[in-house]
Structure 1
C-alpha cells in the first residue's frame, strides 16, 4: 500500500537547502581561515546565511587560534575566598561580587586548594558544624597556552566550569570560565547584572549603599545624591557616570577598584567589554 501522503521532492530539498547552499560557496574550498571568513561574508551578502549565523561561525573559526591566556581574568583581578576568613566575611564577598564560583586559597593567594560554589556556602547556615573544606570542589589547572577548543571540551566533560590558568613556571596567571570561552563564539552573554534600561539604574541596597549602572547619566546621579559631579578638567563633559569615572581614573577601572568623587565612593561591581556596567556607591563620612 502506497504512502497516502508522499513527501514532495521540494520538501526533501528544503530540508537540505542550507547545507547545500553553504557547500556551493565553499567548494572547492578556501585555503586559509581568512579566506573561509571572507566566504562566510559572501554567503551572508547573498542571503545564504543570516548575520547571527555568520558571526557565530566566524567566532568558531577564530577561536581555533585563541588560548586560555588570551581570554583569562588576570591574577590581580581574581576574586578569591580565603578559607580562614569568617563565614560573614565570605558571604559579604560573595554578595558584593555576585559570582557563582570562587577559587579558594589557604595562606597565600597562589595556594588554590579548591573551588566553592556560592550556593554551597548556604549549607553552613543549616549545618554550622559542617567544614567549609568539605564543600570545596577540585580546582582545574590549565596552561596559558591551552587552546580554547580543548578547554571547551574540558568544561563539557566536568561540572566545574572554571579553570585556574598557570604560566610556564607554574605560577597562577589568572582564571577562565566557560562563559569567557562561549563569548568568543556568540559574543557577550547577558547576565543578572545586565538589566534593561527601563527597569532602572539606581538601586538602594540593604547596607545603606547603592548599586548604580555605569550608563546612568551624570546629572541623574548628581541629582539623586544631591552632589555636584564634574570632571577635574572643566573643558571635559561626560554623559554617563561610567565615562566620568573612567576619565578621572585615566582608564576603564577593573572590578574591585574604586574612586572617590564629590563625597561618594564608586566601587566597580561589574565591568565587561571595556566598560563599567555597575558601581557600588557609598556615601563617605565627612
Structure 2
C-alpha cells in the first residue's frame, strides 16, 4: 500500500515551500544563496509579486553594503560657503533644488553644518530685519565613516530623525555625503518627485536671476550662441558642454569654474564621463532678452 499522498504534486510542492520557510525560521544552517532561491521560488508561485521580490532583494543587498558604496562623492557635493551672502548662494539653492546643503569654511574638508532650505523662508516671506548669517541658521552636521554599514545608518536616520550625513575617510577628510533617500532608493528603486519629472521637460536654458542662468550641458551650441549672443565655434563642438570641456582640458568636477570671453561657466553637476549641468554668469552690466 502506498504511503503517497493522493495530491502528491501539489502536496510535494507545497511541502517544499513550507520546508524552506520552516528552515528559515528554525535557525538551521543556511546561506544567502538559499534565501535568494526561497524568494525566487515565492515569486514563481505567485506568493509575492515581482515588486515585492525586488524590494526584498534590495534589503538583502543593503545589508551587505557600506556607506562608501552608496555615498555621493565629494566631487559632486553641492556646498555653500559660510561667508556667502543670501544673494550669492540663492541661485545655487534654486538650481539644484536640494533641500539640504553642507556649509563649509575653507574647503569641503571643513563642514561647519547643514543648511535646510526651508530655514531660508523666514528671510524671504516674513521679511526678517536681521541680515542672514549662515552660522546662526545651520544645523549640526552628522559625521559617519565610510566603513559604516548602510543598514545601521538607516536605523540611525530613523531613530535620530536626521536625513543627511557627511562621510569621512580614515584620515578624517570628507569623502562624500549620504542621505536617507540614497538608502531607500537602493531598496525600492529610484524615487522621483515633481522636480525630477519637470526636470526632464525643462528648457535647456533657465534664468535663475538677472545675470545667472542654469544651462544643460547638452544644449546645442547654435541655440546657446543665439540666446547669449556669443560666437563659439560650432565646428569645434556640437554642444556648449563640449566647448566648456575643451576649455578645461580635463573632466571638471562639480564646483569648478572657467571664464570664456565675458561669461563665467561653473560646473553645477558632472560625473566621471560628462558634464551635465552648467551655471552661466553674465557680467553685471549685461542682460539678455
TM-score by length of 2: 0.68
What are structure 1's unaligned runs of at least 5 residues? 1-19, 233-237
Q: CA deviation at 1:122?
A: 3.2
Residue aligning to 1:161 = 163
Q: 1:44 to 1:109 in 2, by over 3 A?
A: same
Partner of 2:31: 32
Greater RCO, CA 8 A, separation 6+: 2
Q: Deviations over 1:152-177 (max 9, x none)?
A: 01111233210011112222221111
Matched, 1:118 2:117: yes
Instruction: Provide the residue aligned with 2:154 in structure 1.
Output: 152
- Residue in 2 that maps onto 1:60: 59
The CA deviation at 1:210 is 5.1
* TM alignment of 1:91-110, pairs within 5 A: 91-110=90-109
For residues 83 and 284 of structure 1, the distance between their equivalents in structure 2, rounded to whole angstroms, comes to: 24
**Alpha-carbon distance in 1 for matches of 2:104, 2:270:** 24
C-alpha distance 39-167 of structure 1, shift in aligned 2 (>3 A): same
Gaps of at least 5 residues in structure 2 are: 1-14, 227-231, 284-289
Deviation at 1:112, TM superposition (A): 1.6
- Tell me the C-alpha RMSD between the 2 structures: 4.1
Give per-residue Cα distances to partners, 1:109-163, cap 9 Å, x unaligned: 3222211101212333422425422211111111111111110011112332100
1:191-206 equivalences under 5 Å are 191-195=193-197, 199=201, 202=204, 204-206=206-208
Q: Is the 8 A contact 1:211 1:278 kept in 2?
A: no
SS at match of 1:115: strand
**Aligned counterparts of 1:242 and 1:47: Cα–Cα separation in 2:** 51
Q: Conserved in 2, the CA contact under 8 Å of 1:26 and 1:36?
A: no
**CA separation of 1:111/1:128 partners in 2, compared to 1, >3 Å: closer, same or farther?**
farther
Size of the alignment, in residue pairs?
252
What does residue range 8-47 of structure 1 map to in structure 2 within 5 Å?
A: 25-29=20-24, 31-47=30-46
Query: What secondary structure is seen at the aligned counterpart in 2 of 1:110?
Result: coil
Larger radius of gyration: 2
Q: Report the Cα offset of residue 255 of structure 1.
A: 4.6
2:82 paired with 1:83 = yes
